[in-house]
Amino acid sequence: MPTRPGIIIPAVPFASWADKGRALVVMGGLCLKKSPRVKTTPSASGRRNVAGMTTESAIKGFVFSDEKDASRYTLMHDGDLVSVLDYRDDGRTVALTRAFTVPTFRGRGYAAEVVARAVAALEERGDRRVLPVCWYVADWFAEHPEHASLLRTR
């Protein structure tokens, strides 16, 4: 791709399409030109910022995010993605479909942490029931019967 002299285009590898979308959002906030691929809104200062795509909380050095555009909860530590919990939300029920921990971070309880934080967020929200599709999430609920009231009854 030809560029003007002095312009450097960084090559960034993406772990998934959702990560590519997140990078577009971050880079879109830096761009002055509007793009239909980047979801941004103007801020009071005139600069563009990202709006309503993720909800984050940082506890114990970890950043837990609800990436609504990618339908997943993520757990990051020191800028590294360590665990993901995919979901499908139909407006009444949230189906927790897949818990995944990056292989280099396995065995440290990160999957349990992302599930616990997702369940806490859903309990706080109070308007959804949970359907544990993933075997790991079903086992987590079996080990934590105090959260059984959140499960969808058939």
| DSSP secondary structure, the chain, as one string | ----TT--------SSHHHHHHHHHHHHHH-SS--TTS-EEE-TTSSEEE-SSEEEEEETTEEEEEETTTTEEEEEETTEEEEEEEEEE-SSEEEEEEEEE-GGGTTSSHHHHHHHHHHHHHHHH-S-EEEE-SHHHHHHHHH-GGGGGGBPP-
pLDDT at 28: 42
Is residue 18 very low, low, confident or very high in pLDDT (cuts 50, 70, 90)? low
| Residue 121: Cβ-neighbour burial (10 angstroms; 0-12, 13-18, 19+) | middle
According to the model, what pLDDT value does residue 153 have?
82
pLDDT surpassing 90 at residue 20: no
pTM over 0.95: no
Instruction: Kindly report the average pLDDT of the chain as a whole number.
Output: 77
Residue found by looking up tokens 């921990």 in the block? 101
- CATH 3.40.630.30 spans which residues of the chain? 53-148
Taking the chain, what is the end-to-end CA distance rounded to the nearest angstrom?
A: 55
For 56-68, the pLDDT digits (tens) are 655 578 899 999 9
pLDDT in tens, 76-128: 998 899 999 999 999 999 999 999 999 999 999 999 999 999 999 999 999 99
Mean pLDDT, residues 126-132 taken together:
95
> In the CATH scheme, what architecture does the domain 53-148 have?
3-Layer(aba) Sandwich (3.40)
- What percent of the chain stands above pLDDT 70? 62
Shortest CA distance to 82 belongs to which of 11, 12, 13, 15?
15
R_g over Cα of the chain: 18
The answer on pLDDT for 27 being more than 80 is no
Q: Would you state the pLDDT for residue 85?
A: 97
